[in-house]
Structure 1
Amino acid sequence: MVHASSPGGGTRAKVLVLGRDERSFLGVVRSLGRRGLEVHCAWCAADALAMRSRYAARHHELPVPDGPDGAWLPALETLCRRERFDLVIPTHDPSVVALFHQRQRLAACARVYQLNERAFETSYDKHATHRLARATGVDVPDEVLVGDRPRIEELFDELGSPIVLKPRRSFAFGRKKWEHQVRMVANPEEARVSLEALRGAGEVLAQAHVPGRGLGLEVLADGGEVLLAFQHERLHEPLGGGGSSYRRGVAVEDDLLAAVERLVRAMDYSGVGMFEFKRERPSGAWWLIEINGRFWGSLPLALASGADFPWALYRLLVHGERRFDRAYRTGLHGRNLAMDATWVWRNLRARRSDPSLTTVPVKTLLTELAHLPRLEERADTWALDDPRPGLAQVRRVAGEIAWATRKKLARWPYRSAFLRARLTAGLRRALPDARRLLFVCKGNVCRSPFAEHAARRVLPAVVEVTSRGTFREAGRCCPSEALHAARAFDLDLSAHRSRVLDAADVDAAQIILAFDAADVSRVSSAFPRARRKLFRLGPLAPRGPVDLRDPYGGGLDAFREVFGQIATALAPLAVAVRSRERG
């Protein structure tokens, strides 16, 4: 059974929901608020989309966990004792993991929803998931636990190509962004780079890539028995893997449910979870990919279809109810507007000849547009009874589209060699007298450190070259892909650590060189006086892109491409700087 401490009192039931995203977090807030519960929120920004919901009664400013203990713990204890919540519900990995590690201490002041130890360890440890699946007769892709000194060629011999690399543990505090990423690699060189990037994540799993469409089977269980189930299929999946942006609710398939029931029974699972599968059609073969032992990103589709998991969880934990209506509407589609706008753009640009990429034909995309007028589609954040979160997201997406359109239009003049020369004339005139150059990108871990090191090699020693980032975190190292890509240019970025742009840097620089329109916007907004000496590097090249895009989070090829573009633009920069010497 689910572990819980005693509930609080009061005439109106009160819950605390912990999280920050616009999908599962907002879904839980709406579900419980619609049932008349007083919903309090924490560990999210005060202006988060969920806080715009009419069902979010109150926001609490609490320290956010950055580890299994810390200032967040006494602050949460104080809040729980004061408010006497009937239930505390974590909705994202940091909250689930933090509360699990402090489950005994928190039990003294609140009823906290959490998995039992075996269910937690199995769902957050992908290798443990794999072992349990094998033991219960559930098919999974072949996988290898990669050691410290892997024989990479042997991995491809055993698993084929491509291979999926992923951290063994789904989440850990202190990881860098790229250390959470699942990576698909096609050859040993890509595998070496990705394994180095994932080294800080702990142990890594190498998994055979299996074909097919992603399926999610979501359940509420108690004591190893499934009480409520919902299934969806993923229609728009990230090309390299990850959470879907467009899905469709379908009937629960008996063979998948039977597999989930065996796993749930073996873990004595109590709580909510999403079991992710891949099914190859028309053969019908399927594989379990992983278990998400928390509320999942596609929760809004389940809610819209009539499978109200948060409310059922509340009734189970607070009132001990175990009988729920398992009927729901099938055929309804759910779309995350922000994620799907990005997905559509990448899908249109992807190589359709690559069978490992989950691309969708343009004809299918056009056909999908008919779902909305037929009332067969919902947006994750949109609800007639709670329109403000959806309106806020629409405004945000519209702003992003408008920004991208303006950027594209602004790049048109640079297609003309004559106009390109005219538009960069001011920078070219200023370069011969410049003795202090500053390169600025977002994080100061990819483009600007490469430009700094490359520029030092081609510019006179009298010119001082530095780099900074606008992202407010110093001391970060360059990702593995950046290190490998830079080595092809005989540059070593291993000792570089990120530095944050400040007013002194702006004042000291004679010329500030950014890499794309977003960099220019961030610098000019934070330091208006920088505008007169702020330029983009890309237009200096006689041809090629004006904006040198951020490769952060991309593969080795993305870094190689951008670093090549930077090197190309630095050549005319060096010529302009040295023109004074020739004069």
Structure 2
Amino acid sequence: MLKTAVIGTDSPIGLAVVRELGERGVPVYAIGNRPDSIGGKSRHADRFFLRPRGPLAQWLPEFVTTHEIGAVMAISEQTLAELCALRGTLPGCLVIAPEAEKFALVLDKSATLDAARSVGIDVPASWQPLAPQNENTFPTSLTYPVAVKWSDPVAMIDRLSAASLPLEKVEYADNPEALQSILRKYDRIATWPMVQEYARGYGFGQMLHMHRGEATLKFQHRRLREWPPTGGISTCCTSVPLTEHNEQMMLSERLLRSIGWEGPAMVEYRHDPATGRYVLMEINGRFWGSIPLAYHCDANFAWETWRCAVGQAKLTVSRSPSRPRHRIARYMVPDTKHLLAQMKNALPMAEKLVLLSSFIFQFIDPAACYYVWSVRDPRPFLSDIRSIISQAARRGKPAPDGSPRIPPAASTLP
């Protein structure tokens, strides 16, 4: 088995990848940004290393040579974009990453929507501002509410940071005044996010692993809760049988085939059961945030990616579980934040009671599983508890030099 470096093991995504590979005997060298990286605490990580400062190109070649690494994988979009550029440049080491131009396409939401439209997938009406706007210059076709998001978020990270502006995953505007307020923030960098129609329904993801034009593994899930509640990361999601949404799965596979995609991807929709409409949100061309659910359902995308890349199986045969396990996966700290936020909202008391009872019942639901906790691999969970307690104890206390202490971000358990 090739020694495999996994870069970015601080999150539940990286932890799931470490577990999948390690359980199958792959020697995993976990690389994280913090000493308490949860993936590095897994019993499936052979060794753990703190990520050196600087771009991958500055330190990865030496790391690969020193530790005789045979394959490299990355978790975050930003790191994966760097890794794509290193394909073919590390002698004796397989870079498991998409082609740079394919990855750039799925990062660009405008290009993704064009590709989806060409294969018959419904896409949201979109408008890309190219100059400062006011209410009088907004397209008359806009209907509210609207979602405001960057066409290529990764490309905006440095530019926004230089202007001390946060990278917002998505913002919402209920009227022209609210939209103008959002767009005006970006006048000083002369670049504006894309404005899209708000798609009703729930978050629905179809996950596929593509190899040589065919899907070798499929899975799908429905989002039950998100943080923030207006749209963000999935904090609770449930598996959906592959016997459902068949026609949409065929369209998702056709979309990935049309762009020549190789490797794992999640095609993300908003699905409205009342109308039957599926509206494409994006293609996630990396291991996605809810991959722990797929892992607990035995749909092992990290292993499938590894084995296809190194040629370890009959690659044309579908690896989708014929009867995947039904599971509900929870990302506990954000899920708790979701509950508390909804309890404070002006919701009917009956609706609040339903939310609260569902939240509590899922602790005893035999189908429930967790992003971090695993009875077979408890150390990441225990490490995360220690980190959260330590951060809470330090919060607000001055650092040794007297300056305010800024706590690092927790991975958030379980």
Shared fold (TM-score, shorter chain, > 0.5): yes
Q: Structure 1 residues 63 and 189, CA, compared in 2 at 3 Å: closer, same or farther?
A: farther
Asked whether the 8 Å contact 2:106–2:112 carries over to 1, the reply is: yes
Aligned pair 1:36/2:25, yes or no? yes
- Which whole-Å CA distance do the structure 2 matches of 1:198 and 1:255 have between them? 40
Aligned pair 1:522/2:391, yes or no? no
Q: Structure 1 residues 383 and 247, CA, compared in 2 at 3 Å: closer, same or farther?
A: same
Aligned length: 391
Aligned pair 1:93/2:77, yes or no? yes
Q: CA deviation at 1:235?
A: 0.5
What letter is aligned with 1:195? L
Aligned pair 1:187/2:175, yes or no? yes
1:142 alignment partner in structure 2: 125
Q: Structure 1 residues 363 and 85, CA, compared in 2 at 3 Å: closer, same or farther?
A: same
Write out aligned runs for 1:50-65 (5 A).
Answer: 50-65=39-54
Aligned pair 1:102/2:98, yes or no? no
Asked whether the 8 Å contact 1:121–1:128 carries over to 2, the reply is: no
1:387 alignment partner in structure 2: 378
Q: CA deviation at 1:153?
A: 4.7
What letter is aligned with 1:145? Q
Q: Structure 1 residues 395 and 53, CA, compared in 2 at 3 Å: closer, same or farther?
A: same
Task: Give the fraction of aligned pairs with identical amino acids, expressed as a percent.
Answer: 26
1:346 to 319, 327, 341: 341
2:206 alignment partner in structure 1: 217
Q: Structure 1 residues 528 and 131, CA, compared in 2 at 3 Å: closer, same or farther?
A: closer
Q: Structure 1 residues 227 and 133, CA, compared in 2 at 3 Å: closer, same or farther?
A: same
Write out aligned runs for 1:412-491 (5 A).
Answer: none
Asked whether the 8 Å contact 1:14–1:37 carries over to 2, the reply is: yes
Q: CA RMSD in A?
A: 2.7
- Which whole-Å CA distance do the structure 2 matches of 1:245 and 1:284 have between them? 24
Write out aligned runs for 1:56-205 (5 A).
Answer: 56-65=45-54, 70=55, 72-106=56-90, 108=91, 110-153=93-136, 155=138, 157-172=140-155, 173-174=157-158, 175-176=160-161, 178-198=166-186, 200=189, 202-205=191-194
Please state whether the residue corresponding to 1:221 is helix, strand or coil.
Answer: strand
- Which whole-Å CA distance do the structure 2 matches of 1:85 and 1:192 have between them? 51
Q: CA deviation at 1:183?
A: 0.7
- Which whole-Å CA distance do the structure 2 matches of 1:529 and 1:22 have between them? 28
- Which whole-Å CA distance do the structure 1 matches of 2:320 and 2:195 have between them? 37
- Which whole-Å CA distance do the structure 1 matches of 2:303 and 2:326 have between them? 22
What letter is aligned with 1:95? T
Q: Deviations over 1:393-414 (max 9, x none)?
A: 34556788x88xxxxxxxxxxx
Q: Larger % of helix: which?
A: 1
Aligned pair 1:337/2:332, yes or no? yes
- Which whole-Å CA distance do the structure 1 matches of 2:71 and 2:318 have between them? 19
Write out aligned runs for 1:292-371 (5 A).
Answer: 292-321=284-313, 322=315, 323-327=317-321, 328-352=323-347, 361-371=352-362
Asked whether the 8 Å contact 2:216–2:319 carries over to 1, the reply is: no
Structure 2: tracts of 5 or more residues without a match: 405-414
- Which whole-Å CA distance do the structure 1 matches of 2:357 and 2:130 have between them? 46
Structure 1: tracts of 5 or more residues without a match: 1-11, 354-359, 404-516, 531-583
- Which whole-Å CA distance do the structure 2 matches of 1:369 and 1:37 have between them? 37
1:406 alignment partner in structure 2: none
What letter is aligned with 1:522? K
TM, length-normalised to structure 2: 0.86
Asked whether the 8 Å contact 1:40–1:57 carries over to 2, the reply is: yes
What letter is aligned with 2:59? A
Please state whether the residue corresponding to 2:275 is helix, strand or coil.
Answer: coil
Q: Deviations over 1:222-273 (max 9, x none)?
A: 1232111111100012322111111011113212201211111111110011
- Which whole-Å CA distance do the structure 1 matches of 2:12 and 2:360 have between them? 22
Q: CA deviation at 1:529?
A: 11
Asked whether the 8 Å contact 2:88–2:95 carries over to 1, the reply is: no
- Structure with the greater relative contact order (CA < 8 A, sep ≥ 6): 1 or 2? 2
2:273 alignment partner in structure 1: 281
1:47 alignment partner in structure 2: 36
